[in-house]
Amino acid sequence: MKYFRYKEEKIFRVLMLVSTLFIVLALAIIIFSILYKGLPMLSWEMISQTPKGGFYLGKEGGILNAIIGSFYLSVCSTLLALFVSLPLALFMNIYLKRYKFVLNTVRFFLDLLWGVPSIVYGAFGFIIMIHFGLRASLLAGIITVTLFIIPIMVRAMDEVFKTVPVGLYEASLSLGSTRSETAYRVFLRQCYPGIITAVLLAFGRGIGDAASVLFTTGFTDHIPVSLMQPTATLPLAIFFQLGAPIAEVQERAYAAAAILTFFILIISILARLSSGKFQRNKINF
């Protein structure tokens, strides 16, 4: 018996090791192949110029339009989603806490929405656009991506707020705080690192998604100067370049992918740095 229990422990250790290795390896291979194929094509021209005529047939130019487009789109959508998600997640965990049935129903529908493929959001955004007589534009893309990442952000934050112990909630209330003071002055501080993770998760999904922007944002070679103009995005730029019949253009797609990855990396690091102080203040229960 004893022998078996030790054996079991060993098996689990090996399993854990194998799955960790598998994930790290998969990540390494993805990043390596992107860099291996992309880095040689990565040039100053690529990130400083918009496509010239025939870019997708191997002519000159870069993808500055898509870089800027993706930047506008993802930052705006993430901020908009944050404005909706943070109050909602707090509301769920402070005011709705009493109403378990309502709360679980809300969670259930958010989980459903999380599971809906982004192309469906794209199609939905498309219907809205047509209804309001909008053309494919930065605005339509922002709205669609915002809708698409809200469930992700809310549920991720919700899981973080759930970890706040009842005792901390009670402590704050018994000092005479109202529930909203408790929400914004205690929960937010305690959960700041987790909130950042939730925002990053949503940001990553938003910036990397092609299907939701395919119909709604459209594509163009120009840098957008208004919300009403169609806008290029990195995922679609990669998609179009990969679809080109010319090897060189296909390789440029990897350079674009490298830029996208780099973008996410920078944002992640910045966000992590910002949560350091709160990480120290966080009470570990």
Partner 1 sequence: MKNSGKIITKDLNLFIGKQHILKNVNIVVPDNKITVILGPSGCGKTTLLKSMNRLTDLYPEMVLSGQILIDDKDILKAGAEVPEIRRKMGLLSQRPYPLPMSIYKNIAYGLKINGVSNHKELDDKVEYYLRLANLWDEVKDRLREPASTLSIGQQQRLCLARGLAVDPEIILADEPTSALDPLSSNAIEKQFVKLKSSYTIVVVTHILRQARRIADHIIFMYLGEVIEQGSANKFFNYPEMDKTREYLKGAFN
The footprint of partner 1 (CB under 8 A) covers 97-100, 165-178, 181, 185-186, 189-190, 278, 280-285
The Cβ of residue 271 has, within 10 Å, a number of other Cβ atoms equal to 16
- Alpha carbons 128 and 85: distance in angstroms, whole number: 22
In which region does residue 167 sit, left (phi positive, over 0), alpha (psi from -120 to 50) or beta (all else)? alpha
Which residue is listed with tokens 């797609």?
Answer: 253
Shortest distance in whole angstroms from residue 79 CB to partner 1: 25
137/190 with CB nearer partner 1: 190
Shortest distance in whole angstroms from residue 285 CB to partner 1: 8
Shortest distance in whole angstroms from residue 278 CB to partner 1: 7
Shortest distance in whole angstroms from residue 92 CB to partner 1: 15
Shortest distance in whole angstroms from residue 162 CB to partner 1: 15
Q: Please report, as a single letter, which amino acid is at residue 193.
A: P
Shortest distance in whole angstroms from residue 50 CB to partner 1: 47
The Cβ of residue 177 has, within 10 Å, a number of other Cβ atoms equal to 16
Shortest distance in whole angstroms from residue 101 CB to partner 1: 10
Sign of CA dihedral 170, 172, 178, 182: negative
* Degrees to nearest 5, angle at CA 143 with 139 and 148: 145
Shortest distance in whole angstroms from residue 276 CB to partner 1: 12
Which residue is listed with tokens 């009470």?
Answer: 283
97/222 with CB nearer partner 1: 97
72/192 with CB nearer partner 1: 192
Q: Which of 200, 206, 253, 204 is nearest to 73 (CA)?
A: 206
User: 132 Cβ partners below 8 Å, 6+ apart?
Assistant: none
Residue 18: its H or E element = helix 2-38
210 to each of 141, 168, 197, 238, 258, how far by Cα in Å?
A: 11, 42, 22, 9, 16
Residues in the chain: 285
83/95 with CB nearer partner 1: 95
148/169 with CB nearer partner 1: 169
Which residue is listed with tokens 């112990």?
Answer: 165
36/99 with CB nearer partner 1: 99
CA dihedral 169, 172, 283, 159 (to 10 degrees): 30
52/277 with CB nearer partner 1: 277
2/98 with CB nearer partner 1: 98
